[in-house]
């Protein structure tokens, strides 16, 4: 157990842990500043919503602030409407940026000055190659790029050209400003990235003030730095951009403490189209009614559908924050919605697919007003409304079956059922129309069974909802199903989303449109709703009992028009509940997994007796360098190391040097090799072995200490970690960290007894057959001694006490 770790960090996502660590180390002087930086080129979707929850959530939890910043550096795609809708969406989700609303376009002048700085430092140049030449010159992932013929222009010439670019002297594409980094860099983005381009286009905020515009990699990090952002959180596809981010900031002169970028995977949600590039065409083609169509996963679509913002925030919490690309099941969103609505939504009755039920023993023209609570007892909320009851009622067609399937608990010929909040009725007669369809049910009611009374304790197997025919209000109900037909095809759409020319993007849009589910929207015009809803606040979210959660469409369902959206269905414990839905209200198709099935692993090259697998790069290195090859022979021969270890020690001269330096101090090849190939490599953290703040000799001294029993191997690893972080002499560190080995049996016995006394339950479990719990006991003893105990001795002591 790392002594600096803290139980408070457990369960915290890796970004929050990082923020916490930065706070603890004082890196940013106690400041936490995050930002949500959308480009105003479309409407926000639920993926953005999780990002908003992350950024604003961190700011709130750590006493910092979160900026809303429009990353509006591309005049051709952005507009005011999008900027307006984004602010509305963020606010609706429940977050507040205070006075921290910013626009990248307000920084253009400062960014220009930074570019001049870069030019003066010789770190940027004006490239006058045409676009195609720049593209070709960048090389490929397998080949280095070529230097631009303009790369070595003088500072003065660059300055002059850049100034004239700004002044509008050149047409689009005549020149660009590029960072002068490395055309052979393995990271393509570092191959002299384009910083500025000429674009004679009107910007929605800046008008024609500028004709050069900065590109993302240059602009974004500067925006963060200008605003003193501490943690710049973005999604994983920007991972490769981080290197440029750091280069620009360091090159311009923003030293520590400066903003740092952290990437997380972002949301991928089953059955949702989560890309502005994909949503846009659906809107433009009229497949959906607009960016706020309830079938869309846009925030405005969710809002219109009726999903409460609390549910989206809960969903974000459920999904979590990691770096692993994962697709979340729609069921989790549904759960979050139901969780919120179950506690809040008043229950009322609505019949979507009505079937007439006549109570023959109810006096003609007689009516009764029933008082019905809005909430079931378990919700614990007050409130009720009056529900009229009469001779003729509407019930759900699917709540009756002439030939009931097994397990059917509703109305059948000759059977009884309770009408919710009212009476028990018996079906005496089924009336058919000329087509043979059930047209009407003729029933009798039992006056003694009025809701709240139970004269003879009689139980009826089913309860169904209903609406009195004479008082029912006609309503339109809209049911939603996934917009796209299948997961696989959606996956293709994602592939087609890759960077491509405009014509191909259009093809992608076309193929997207071809996968639209024709049944994604079901409009039910026959619905009957109890009259109380007509006078409620139109923004009320209801549970239509046994049908799901609904609310009035905020666009089409206002005024007199009773138009309801189904926010989400109820969880159903009965498959046949599907039959309750009018045809066309498809459920999502059976789950399909995005992850490819893991094929059985080829067994060749592994398994007992198999040849060790050596690294190609190291084999090549030895082929080119006879000195390395000789070392390999020496290590496997005279020193008797396994090939795999020898391989790792002879990939570079530095590795072998390090190993041999350690060996000179402690002459045990097998042990030293183990430390070097396994433990030392584990603390490199991206560094080369020669960049470590300690040398091979220091490792040798540490290994010697462990071998001598002065320090446990476990504690030795802690010492190594400290050495990797800040250097130092092993013996002194052992002293300073208080890790001198404790192997005195009496001393350890007392600690062991103490641990066992603290965990009586676990001791019992161990004796009852959970041997793996020994790890817990050893771990506790190690913790108590800060890793200094000799684990062999501890195990022996434990065994004496537990296994006797």
Residue ranges in 648-667 that form contacts with RNA under rule CB under 7 A: 648
Separation CA 652–CA 666 (nearest Å): 22
Residue 587: Cβ within 10 Å count? 11
Single out the residue of 79, 117, 187, 384 in contact with RNA (rule: CB under 7 A).
187
Residues 324-363, mask of contacts with RNA (x by CB under 7 A): xxxxxx-xx-xx--xx--x----x----------------
- With contacts defined by CB under 7 A, name the span among 355-363, 425-433, 444-452, 694-702 that binds RNA: 444-452
Nearer to RNA, 311 or 521 (CB): 311
Q: In the window 487-506, what residues touch RNA (CB under 7 A)? A: 494, 498-499
Instruction: Please report how close the Cβ of residue 595 comes to RNA at its closest, in angstroms.
Output: 5
Would you say 100 or 277 has its CB closer to RNA?
A: 277
Q: Which two tokens stand for residue 275?
A: 């890309």
Minimum CB distance to RNA smaller for 556 or for 644: 644
Q: Three-state DSSP class for 370?
A: strand
> Does 138 help bind RNA (rule: CB under 7 A)?
yes
Q: What Å distances lie between residue 574 and 396, 409, 417, 702, CA to CA? A: 16, 10, 17, 66
Nearer to RNA, 281 or 779 (CB): 779
> Which residues, at least 6 apart from 392, have a Cβ–Cβ distance to it below 8 Å?
356, 357, 358, 359, 468, 469, 470
**135 contributes a contact to RNA by CB under 7 A:** yes
Cβ count within 10 A of residue 645: 21
**Footprint on residues 293-322 left by RNA (CB under 7 A):** 318-322
Q: Considering only 203-211, 251-259, 531-539, 643-651, which stretch makes contact with RNA by CB under 7 A? A: 643-651
768-to-761, 762, 763, 764, 773 alpha-carbon distances in Å: 11, 10, 9, 6, 11
Strand 231-235 with 260-264, pairing: parallel
Measure Cα distances from 305 to 85, 334, 694 in Å: 16, 13, 61
Member of 60, 215, 629, 697 binding RNA (CB under 7 A):
215
Contact 464, 417 (CB under 8 A): yes
Of the two residues 390 and 415, which places its CB atom closer to RNA in the complex? 415
Residue with tokens 């109570």: 359
**Distances from the Cα of 786 to the Cα of 27, 328, 336, 490, 520, angstroms:** 27, 41, 43, 53, 61
Q: How far is the CB of 528 from RNA (least distance, A)?
A: 17
Relative orientation angle of helices 774-784 and 760-767, to the nearest 10 degrees = 150
Of 45-53, 292-300, 455-463, 722-730, which segment contacts RNA by CB under 7 A? 455-463
Q: Are 199 and 231 in contact (CB under 8 A)?
A: no
Cα–Cα dist 71/84, whole Å: 14
Q: Which of 131, 447, 725, 740 binds RNA (CB under 7 A)?
A: 131
Q: With respect to RNA, which residue has the nearer C-beta, 137 or 304?
A: 137
Span 83-122, contacts to RNA by CB under 7 A: none
Query: From CA 675, how far away is CA 720, in angstroms rounded?
Result: 10
Q: How many Å apart are CA 474 and CA 531, to the nearest integer? A: 9
Stretch that binds RNA, among 151-159, 212-220, 282-290, 468-476 (CB under 7 A): 212-220
DSSP 763-788: HHHHHTT-GGGHHHHHHHHHHHTTT-
Least distance in angstroms from the C-beta of 191 to RNA: 8
| Least separation in angstroms between CB 11 and RNA | 5
Q: Two tokens at 483?
A: 């917009």
**Cis peptide leading into residue 257 (ω within 30°):** yes
Contact call for residues 32 and 230 (beta carbons, < 8 A):
yes
- What residues pair up with 260 in beta bridges, in sequence order? 231
Q: Quick one: which segment of 209-217, 425-433, 695-703, 739-747 binds RNA (CB under 7 A)?
A: 209-217
| Pattern 529-568, RNA, x by CB under 7 A | --------------x-xx----------------------
From CA 495, how far away is CA 497, in angstroms rounded?
5
Residues 7-46 that bind RNA (CB under 7 A): 9-14, 17, 39
The overall longest dimension of the chain from CA atoms, in Å, is: 108
* Binding test (CB under 7 A) with RNA, winner from 438, 485, 737, 776: 776
- Let me know: does 411 contact 417? Beta carbons within 8 Å: yes
Q: Which of 521/673 has CB closer to RNA?
A: 673
**Nearest distance, CB of residue 405 and RNA, angstroms:** 8
Instruction: Out of 1, 155, 519, 523, name the contact with RNA by CB under 7 A.
Output: 1
From residue 756 to residue 775, the character string flagging contacts with RNA as x (rule: CB under 7 A) and all else as - is: ------x-------x-xxxx
Based on the shown chain and the rule CB under 7 A, indicate whether residue 691 belongs to the binding site for RNA: no
Residues 781-800 that bind RNA (CB under 7 A): 782, 791-792, 795
Return the number of the residue (270 or 292) whose C-beta is nearest RNA.
270
345 token code pair: 């939504």
3-state secondary structure labels for all residues of 121-181: CCCEEEECCCHHHHHHHCCCCCCCCCCCCCCCCCHHHHHHHHHHHHCCCCCCCCCEEEECC
Among the residue ranges 432-440, 468-476, 478-486, 706-714, the one whose residues contact RNA (CB under 7 A): 706-714
Min. distance of Cβ 637 from RNA in angstroms?
Answer: 18
Residue 265 interacting with RNA (CB under 7 A):
yes
Tokens standing for residue 718: 């802690």
Ramachandran assignment for 207, one of left (phi > 0), alpha (psi -120 to 50 degrees), beta (any other): left
Which lies closer to RNA via its Cβ, residue 543 or residue 652? 543
Segment interacting with RNA, rule: CB under 7 A, options 80-88, 110-118, 250-258, 638-646? 638-646
Minimum CB separation from RNA for residue 435, in Å?
25
Give min distance, CB of 485 to RNA, in A. Answer: 20
Residues 44-83, one symbol each (x = binds RNA by CB under 7 A, - = not), give ---------------------------x-xx--x------
Under the binding rule (CB under 7 A), the answer on residue 384 touching RNA is no
d(CA 780, CA 778): 5
- Say how many residues touch RNA, by CB under 7 A: 162
- Report the site for RNA in 403-422 (rule: CB under 7 A): 407-410, 418, 420-422
Asked if 354 contacts 526 with a C-beta cutoff of 8 angstroms, the reply is yes
Which residue reads 């161990």 in tokens?
Answer: 766
- 92 vs 216, beta carbon nearer RNA: 216
The token pair at 754 is 């103490």
Q: Where would I find the beta strands (DSSP E) of 206-248?
A: 212-214, 231-235
Binds RNA by CB under 7 A, chosen from 363, 608, 626, 769: 608
> Near RNA by CB under 7 A, which window of 293-301, 453-461, 477-485, 661-669?
453-461
Considering only the stretches 54-62, 131-139, 481-489, 659-667, report the one whose residues sit in contact with RNA under the rule CB under 7 A. 131-139
| Residue 451 near RNA by CB under 7 A | yes
Kindly give, in sequence order, each residue whose CB lies less than 8 Å from that of residue 323, ignoring residues fewer than 6 positions away: 14, 236, 263, 264, 265
* Nearer residue to RNA within complex by CB, 276 or 478: 276
Which residues partner with 263 through β-bridges? Answer: 234
151 binds RNA (CB under 7 A): no
Q: Least Å distance between CB 685 and RNA?
A: 9
Between 546 and 622, CB nearer to RNA = 546
């Amino acid at each position: 157990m790392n002594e600096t770790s803290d139980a408070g960090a457990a369960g915290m996502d890796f970004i929050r842990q990082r923020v916490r660590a930065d706070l603890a180390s004082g890196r940013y002087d106690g400041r936490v500043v995050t930002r949500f930086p959308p480009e105003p080129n479309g409407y926000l979707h639920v993926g953005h919503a999780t990002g908003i929850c992350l950024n604003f959530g961190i700011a709130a939890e750590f006493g910092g602030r979160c900026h809303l910043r429009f990353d509006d550096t591309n005049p051709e795609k952005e507009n005011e409407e999008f900027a307006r809708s984004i602010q509305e969406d963020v606010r609706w989700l429940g977050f507040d940026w205070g006075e921290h609303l910013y626009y990248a376009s307000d920084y253009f002048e400062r960014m220009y000055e930074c570019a001049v700085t870069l030019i003066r430092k010789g770190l940027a140049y004006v490239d006058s190659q045409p676009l195609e030449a720049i593209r070709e010159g960048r090389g490929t992932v397998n080949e280095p790029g070529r230097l631009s013929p303009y790369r070595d222009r003088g500072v003065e010439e660059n300055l002059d050209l850049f100034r004239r670019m700004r002044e509008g002297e050149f047409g689009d594409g005549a020149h660009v400003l590029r960072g002068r980094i490395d055309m052979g860099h393995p990271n393509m983005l570092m191959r002299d990235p384009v910083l500025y381009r000429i674009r004679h286009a009107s910007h929605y905020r800046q008008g024609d003030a500028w004709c050069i515009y900065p590109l993302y990699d240059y602009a974004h990090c500067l925006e963060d730095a200008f605003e003193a952002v501490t943690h710049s959180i973005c999604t994983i596809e920007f991972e490769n951009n981080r290197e440029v981010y750091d280069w620009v900031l360091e090159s311009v002169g923003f030293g520590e403490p400066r903003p740092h970028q952290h990437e997380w995977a972002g949301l991928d949600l089953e059955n949702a189209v989560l890309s502005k590039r994909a949503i846009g065409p659906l809107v433009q083609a009229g497949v959906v009614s607009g960016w706020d169509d309830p079938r869309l996963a846009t925030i405005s679509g969710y809002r219109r559908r009726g999903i409460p913002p609390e549910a989206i925030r809960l969903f974000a919490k459920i999904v979590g924050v990691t770096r692993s690309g994962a697709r979340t099941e729609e069921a989790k969103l549904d759960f979050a919605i139901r969780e919120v609505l179950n506690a809040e939504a008043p229950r009322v009755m609505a019949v979507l697919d009505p079937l007439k039920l006549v109570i023959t023993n109810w006096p003609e023209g007689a009516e009764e007003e029933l008082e019905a609570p809005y909430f079931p007892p378990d919700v614990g909320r007050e409130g009720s409304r009056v529900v009229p009851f009469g001779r003729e009622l509407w019930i759900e067609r699917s709540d009756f079956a002439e030939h009931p399937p097994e397990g059917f608990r509703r109305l059948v010929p000759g059977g009884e059922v309770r009408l919710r909040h009212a009476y028990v009725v018996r079906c005496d007669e089924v009336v058919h129309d000329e087509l043979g369809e059930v047209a009407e049910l003729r029933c009798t009611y039992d006056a003694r069974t009025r809701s709240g009374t139970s004269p003879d304790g009689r139980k009826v197997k089913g309860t169904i909802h209903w609406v009195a025919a004479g008082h029912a209000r006609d309503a339109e109900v809209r049911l939603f199903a996934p917009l796209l037909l299948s997961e696989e095809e959606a996956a293709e759409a994602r592939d087609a989303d890759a960077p491509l020319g405009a014509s191909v993007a259009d093809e992608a849009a076309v193929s997207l449109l071809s996968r639209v589910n024709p049944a994604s929207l079901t409009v039910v015009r026959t619905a009957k709703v109890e009259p109380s809803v007509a006078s409620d606040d139109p923004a009320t979210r209801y549970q239509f009992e046994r049908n799901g959660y609904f609310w009035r469409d905020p666009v089409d369902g206002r005024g007199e028009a009773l138009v309801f959206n189904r926010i989400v269905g109820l969880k159903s414990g009965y498959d046949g509940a599907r039959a309750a839905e009018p045809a066309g209200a498809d459920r999502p198709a059976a789950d399909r997994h995005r992850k490819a099935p893991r094929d059985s692993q080829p067994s060749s090259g592994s398994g007992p007796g198999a040849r060790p697998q050596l690294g190609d790069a190291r084999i090549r290195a030895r082929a080119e360098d006879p000195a390395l090859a000789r070392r390999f022979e020496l290590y496997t021969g005279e020193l008797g190391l396994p090939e795999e270890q020898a391989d790792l020690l002879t990939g570079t001269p530095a590795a072998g040097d390090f190993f041999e330096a350690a060996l000179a101090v402690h002459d045990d090849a097998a042990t030293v090799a183990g430390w070097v190939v396994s433990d030392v490599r584990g603390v490199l953290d991206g560094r080369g072995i020669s960049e470590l703040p300690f040398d091979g000799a220091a490792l040798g001294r540490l290994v010697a200490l462990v071998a001598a029993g002065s320090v446990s191997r476990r504690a030795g690893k802690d010492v190594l970690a400290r050495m990797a972080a800040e250097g130092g002499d092993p013996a002194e560190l052992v002293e300073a960290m208080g890790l001198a080995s404790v192997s005195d049996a009496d001393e350890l016995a007392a600690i062991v007894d103490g641990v066992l006394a603290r965990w009586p339950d676990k001791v019992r479990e161990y004796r009852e057959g959970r041997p793996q719990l020994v790890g817990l006991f050893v771990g506790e003893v190690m913790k108590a001694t800060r890793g200094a105990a000799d684990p062999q001795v501890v195990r022996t002591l434990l065994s004496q006490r537990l296994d006797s």
